[in-house]
Amino acid sequence: MTRAALVLFSAGQDSATCLAWALSRFERVETIGFDYGQRHHVELSQREPLRRALSGLSERWLAALGDDSVIDLRGYGALAESALTADRAIALEAGGLPTTFVPGRNLVFLSVAAALAYRKGIDALVGGMCETDYSGYPDCRRATLDAMERALALGLERPIRVETPLMALTKAETWRLAHALGGAALVDTIVEHSHTCYEGDREHRHPWGYGCGVCPACDLRRKGWAVWAEAGES
Ligand code: ZN
């Protein structure tokens, strides 16, 4: 088996950093994304420009980057949405999860990614799950992913790793990792081409990238950038 990885790639800051991380470690890297009926299609349309710009930063990265697969999971998205609506009162009452929580999302994504990896002889999945900033999402915790890794290995009867390089990092540390992997050129590429904003805003350009500037995703990205920039590493 070749040393190959499949990156769960949403074209956001985290998965862009994961793609650079994988390109710097694996001989062959492919990407997978999911159309689950997101409100805005910006993240789907940013995939190719971001992949092209990022891999273009290094000849080795360009040679390592393989196919991109976008999988239609709109049926799941519709189901998850209705479940969210139905459970909203209960969830809020329990005081647990943010309303943006899509039940089981990472479990579904990893199962589908593992199926593609199996077919392509890839034995590592790479995802930007992180329990530092998103502690409210139970399917982002390493404990969940350890169990998932074991379930996939048993169910496929083939070892498959779930690599999560951002698991213990803050958003500021994710910028620092990007800088360590590809210098200012990689940071600039992620700022310019990655998309995180929940509102799909690509009109307003900030030092940290495009976005409405006020949604929770923009807020997190802006704050992380500010902490990192203050540390004087940019
Ligand atoms: Zn936003």
For residue 48, the domain's CATH number is 3.40.50.620
Question: Between 13-23 and 47-55, two packed helices, what is the crossing angle to 10 degrees?
Answer: 40
Confidence of residue 160 (pLDDT cuts 50, 70, 90): very high
Q: So what's the pLDDT on residue 2?
A: 53
> Ligand 1 centre and the CA of 193: distance in Å?
15
> Ligand 1 centre and the CA of 30: distance in Å?
28
Lowest mean pLDDT across 7-11, 20-24, 48-52, 89-93: 89-93
- As for how many domains the chain has, the answer is 1
> Ligand 1 centre and the CA of 69: distance in Å?
26
Confidence of residue 114 (pLDDT cuts 50, 70, 90): very high
Please check the confidence at residue 92 and state whether its pLDDT lies above 50: no
Please check the confidence at residue 98 and state whether its pLDDT lies above 50: yes
CB 65 within 8 A of CB 53: no
Q: So what's the pLDDT on residue 100?
A: 64
Structure tokens at 194: 């990655």
> Ligand 1 centre and the CA of 146: distance in Å?
31
Nearest Cα to Cα of residue 126 among 3, 2, 7: 7
Q: Running DSSP on this structure, what letter comes out for residue 210?
A: E
Please check the confidence at residue 95 and state whether its pLDDT lies above 60: no
Torsion angle defined by CA atoms of residues 78, 82, 85 and 87, in that order, rounded to the nearest 10 degrees: -130
Q: So what's the pLDDT on residue 44?
A: 87
CB 55 within 8 A of CB 48: no
> Ligand 1 centre and the CA of 60: distance in Å?
34
Domain that holds residue 198: 4-230
CB 112 within 8 A of CB 8: no
Sheet containing 65-72: order of strands: 65-72, 28-35, 4-8, 124-126, 161-163
> Ligand 1 centre and the CA of 219: distance in Å?
7
Q: What is the mean pLDDT of the chain?
A: 89
> Ligand 1 centre and the CA of 217: distance in Å?
6
